[in-house]
Amino acid sequence: MRPWLRREVEQVFDHPLFSMEQQEVEAGDDRRRVLVMHPTPWVNMIPLRDDGEVVLVRQWRFGTAMPSLEIPGGMVDPGEAPAAASSRELLEETGYGAGKWTELGCVHPNPAIMSNECWIYLAEDLQWIEEPRGDGDEEIDVESVQLDDIPELIRSGEITHSLVLAAFHLLGLARR
């Protein structure tokens, strides 16, 4: 496979959520213009209570214009480690803290056009700390379901978020 080298880069959009570049790339005699998004890094976590229930969040997603049932997660703030972001996001979105964290893996959400990574964790030994407060812009309903019920929620289309599917897949691999 030929490596594609960047020859020219022009920033075409800049926002706190992501920036976008138009790049002129080449491989040998072939030249192309491509768009590349640079979102902030993300984290997701599977909060697993001692009773076998997973703490989920349901929130409105503007991209699909409908609510989405997901695991908690969010952006890694500048200078913040992914593990610290996971702890912060879990508390903000669910009101829980975790006594045990296991990194399940790191995925590239859409490497065709995006440069960021998403770290995925298992959060265990959960303790209720406070009412969820979100980040100020989120409207979140917290729900719990048995871990054994997750595959049916995926099969039925109740859970469709691809990063959530990746997280449960990584959890399954870790438990094999």
Give pLDDT tens digits for 121-143: 999 999 999 999 877 778 899 99
Can you give the pLDDT at residue 136?
74
Instruction: Give the separation between CA 169 and CA 122, rounded to whole angstroms.
Output: 12
Average pLDDT of the chain to the nearest whole number: 96
Helix (H) or strand (E) holding 24: strand 18-27
Residues of the chain with pLDDT under 70: none
pLDDT digits (tens, 9 = 90+) for 24-38: 999 999 999 999 999
Nearest to 52 by CA among 176, 171, 173: 171
CB atoms within 10 A of CB 94: 27
Can you give the pLDDT at residue 133?
86
Q: Which strands make up the sheet holding 30-39, listed edge to edge?
A: 5-14, 18-27, 30-39
